[in-house]
Structure 1
Amino acid sequence: MTRSNEVRVELPVLDEASLPAPLGPTGRTLRSFPVPKPLKSHGPARIIALCNQKGGVGKTTTSINLGASLAEYGRRVLAVDFDPQGALSAGLGAQTHDVTTIYDLLLTRTKDVSEAIQHTSTPGLDIIPANIDLSAAEVHLVNEVAREQILASVLRKVSDDYDVILIDCQPSLGILTVNALTASHGVLIPLECEYFALRGVALLIETIDKVRERLNPAIQLDGILATMYDSRTLHSREVLERVVDAFGTNVLETVISRTVKFPDASVSATPITQFAPEHAAAEAYRQLARELITRGAVA
């Protein structure tokens, strides 16, 4: 028995260019930001505070690796360790004992800022270190006139030498953090993709609004950076979705995923861009640097 009236349907050949662009973890079109052009001149620096009153959300990791990535793109970067725990200093291999630290600069106006600046293993990335002495600064600053503006006066002296200054804040909203916000042009909020980290963001943004109203009218939110993201867990995906729903385009497109490479790089006291330059985490921080430059947060 033979078949008759067979219909042959030819499926169209799909052109990759006609396919919709893939979506990233934030639910927006996944795009790659262009490599920035070299700068013809340097300074004055744009000062960015990396701030979140919750600890363990990736502030120091971001300060180290964002600074190294920006330096790779020819930017002169100064990282300021503003946390008494000194994790940023340790992560960049800086000396913290028997040297001038940020504590000395805050309390002794006659100190030369250049004495405190140390070069790191990454060309173009310098650091002002901190140690446990900084924990006493809040007590000493209580009776100071214009105590909220002391860090601003310190950084003003070296601002022309750099393109960006990154301040790694301690996990609190005390006088040191207010000093950092008063000195800054922008705020970058690293946010762990975890429910309890999400709860404190509204309080932090409220603090930024108060600083803008009373101390620093020019400060703005440069972005919320999702960190420690794990695409395998529903919890991470739901938290990131809620953050995007609440803050919209203030959430950066770049997302930093969780990986064991970060603690390994910390132990070696080098940025991940040097420790594992081909790793996805290193490329994520390069992408973050390019996104901030594209947004105008960095020159």
Structure 2
Amino acid sequence: MSNDDLHSSLSAVVDGPEAGDVSRETSDAFSAFDEGDDSPLAREMIETERRRRELSEADFPHPARTRIFAVTNQKGGVGKTTTSVNVAAALANKGANVLVIDADPQGNASTALGVEHRAGTPSIYDVLLDDVPMARVAQQCPDIPTLWCVPATIDLAGADIELVSVVRREYRLHDALERLMQGPGKGLDYVFIDCPPSLGLLTLNAMVIAQEMLIPIQCEYYALEGLTQLIKTVEMVRKHLNPQLSLSTIVLTMYDARTNLAREVAHEVRSHFPQQTLEQTVPRSVRVSEAPSFGRTVISHDPHSSGAVAYMAVAKEIAERGRRQEEESGEA
């Protein structure tokens, strides 16, 4: 590829109605190119922008009924919260009505969605322990008007213990969300429940109301450790509490195609869960990591970045899988 061809290709990427909104990640990469450099990075940036434009023009099918996901993995640091908020934001960005319930005492989902969650803020704790209506504590995400969040505050830290003596302790979230969906939340397309990295009562509450499990798996050595216990817990919940629960979606996160380890982990996961594992993987991305510090998801923070494009593709795959399942069951 000649120097002129390279610049023509890059111009084709950035010229047009959105030329003024090129990401910093893209700009930094462009400035690093040497004269006549036909580098893999240049090709990757061009492909990422091509994919972004393709996704921005695509229609994401809306579900016939509300789809409720429990996003969980008892191993921390696998991209659970990151996946929850960015998939939710991607779907809302395409017009879906989406609710994120932050059930993790760390409150990281609340931070990423830019909603208030200081101590004393009405939160999921009040819903679970004091029967406060969920509609009263839900906050609209400032960046995307069709995205809402039920925040978590530090009060939630002791909820696993406090719930032990509460009547219908496993059904507290179930009852609250059912009331919401029969009233002001009846138009919701998706609900994502960001669970803590444990299999306690908060996670159990999410599994009782959810129809689907979404499990992010980091492409690292310990990825599959603990997954067996999680699957056993899902089977227990299906048997005793929620027969509708299914492990529908696995997302491979922090994927680096340059390493043998990442490819081997991805192959291992796909061989064990071929139907559940999405084709789209999520790469490591600086923009994804820094977005919460601005109180935003990467979808709003830098839509041109590789991480944003990956999560848009994940959301599209989730939406299309749901439509296919509805057509097969006759619900569509």
1:259 partner letter: S
Tell me what 2:196 maps to.
170
Tell me what 2:330 maps to.
none
CA distance in 2, matches of 1:169, 1:248: 24
CA distance in 2, matches of 1:165, 1:154: 13
Asked if 1 retains the 8 angstrom alpha-carbon contact of 2:270 and 2:277, the reply is yes
1:162 Cα deviation (Å)? 1.0
Asked if 1 retains the 8 angstrom alpha-carbon contact of 2:70 and 2:214, the reply is yes
Aligned to 1:152, which of 139, 153, 174? 174
Aligned to 1:253, what secondary structure does the other structure show?
A: coil
Aligned to 1:49, what secondary structure does the other structure show?
A: strand
Tell me what 2:153 maps to.
131
Deviations 1:57-99 (A, max 9, x none): 0011111110110001211000000000111111111111332
Please state if 1:240 is matched with 2:260.
Answer: no
Asked if 2 retains the 8 angstrom alpha-carbon contact of 1:38 and 1:74, the reply is no
1:173 partner letter: L
- With 157-166 and 168-177 compared, the bigger mean Cα shift is at 157-166
Query: After the TM superposition, which residues 1-299 of structure 1 pair with which residues of structure 2 at under 5 Å, given as runs?
Result: 35-36=58-59, 44-97=65-118, 98-109=120-131, 111-120=132-141, 121-159=143-181, 160-296=186-322
Runs (5+) with no aligned partner, structure 2? 1-53, 327-332
Describe the shift of the 1:43–1:158 C-alpha distance in structure 2 as closer, same or farther (beyond 3 A). farther
Asked if 1 retains the 8 angstrom alpha-carbon contact of 2:285 and 2:306, the reply is no
CA distance in 2, matches of 1:60, 1:37: 22
Percent identity between matched residues is 40
Asked if 1 retains the 8 angstrom alpha-carbon contact of 2:99 and 2:148, the reply is yes
CA distance in 1, matches of 2:68, 2:139: 18
TM-score by length of 1: 0.84
CA distance in 2, matches of 1:86, 1:55: 14
Asked if 2 retains the 8 angstrom alpha-carbon contact of 1:38 and 1:73, the reply is no
TM-score by length of 2: 0.76
CA distance in 1, matches of 2:116, 2:292: 15
2:107 partner letter: G
Asked if 1 retains the 8 angstrom alpha-carbon contact of 2:133 and 2:180, the reply is no
CA distance in 2, matches of 1:269, 1:164: 21
What is the Cα-based RMSD across aligned positions, in Å? 2.0
CA distance in 1, matches of 2:248, 2:180: 22
1:37 Cα deviation (Å)? 5.4
1:36 partner letter: D
Asked if 2 retains the 8 angstrom alpha-carbon contact of 1:191 and 1:224, the reply is yes
Asked if 2 retains the 8 angstrom alpha-carbon contact of 1:55 and 1:171, the reply is yes
Q: Which has the larger radius of gyration?
A: 1
Aligned to 2:199, what secondary structure does the other structure show?
A: coil
CA distance in 2, matches of 1:169, 1:148: 14
Runs (5+) with no aligned partner, structure 1? 1-31
1:36 Cα deviation (Å)? 3.0
CA distance in 2, matches of 1:208, 1:228: 25
Aligned to 1:167, what secondary structure does the other structure show?
A: strand
CA distance in 2, matches of 1:119, 1:224: 28
Describe the shift of the 1:231–1:183 C-alpha distance in structure 2 as closer, same or farther (beyond 3 A). same
Aligned to 2:222, what secondary structure does the other structure show?
A: helix
